Structure 1
Amino acid sequence: MADFPDIVEASLRARFVSLRVKPDEVEECFIRGAGAGGQKINKTSSTVRLRHLPTGVEVRCQRERNQSVNRLLAWTDLAEKLEWRKAETVNHQQAARELVRRQKRQKSRGQKARMIEGKKHRAKIKATRGRGREE
């Protein structure tokens, strides 16, 4: 079994363990950067790209000139993205449960009275429409 790179510090490893991410699931790639920088950026592969294969989450880091610093930043960014994604799914599930709970909740007397009053008002408006009554 592969292990996380040495650049990944203990606190960051703990974050990945809590997210249940195995080092085998992360694809690490060093590529040439893009953008301003001229000859230096075109000759060195200082940009780091990480991809978490099961989720498809991808991170690219080119913030610094040093590959090892970019590597550490990319691993940190990947952890943050995966944590955000996990929290987002938990929030969506909780919001769905709350929505169902609110929909099934019984209305208060005041709410019910206002609803019935609104329906009666609407019925009066609709009653005035239509053909003229012949007497």
Structure 2
Amino acid sequence: MPRIEVTPDIAIEESELQFSFARASGPGGQNVNKLETAVHLRFDVAGSASLGEALKIRLRRLAGARLTKEGVLVIFAQAHRSQEQNRRAALERLLALIAAAAEKPKRRVKTRPSLASRLRRVESKVRRGETKRLRAPPSGG
């Protein structure tokens, strides 16, 4: 069974991808009215055997509104005039999304503000307060 390589250590089966076609709006002349050039690419994230659980979680988060309640990722492409170009564009977008999800996020290292930065902050607050105090009408009188 043919596999599509996403990264050197991640590949998905072609059988996991489902393509359906529809009439597209936009460029195409008479083709717009006659041919189905727009592409819907469906990839079942929840049921995929090619992806690890951590990758699936990150992919769900990245997919956002493109993910159905059943866990199916839907990508729609209609920018090009030909069905094949739209199919290629949809597949490239899917692979880019999976590759982005494959990058493990860096853990944040807690840091504390330096003494100098804390002093600068306090000094700027004092200066701001002084500016406002000078704007106020004179008291006493």
TM-score (norm 2): 0.48
Higher helix proportion (structure 1 or 2): 1
TM-score by length of 1: 0.50
Larger RCO: 1 or 2 (CA < 8 Å, sep 6+): 2
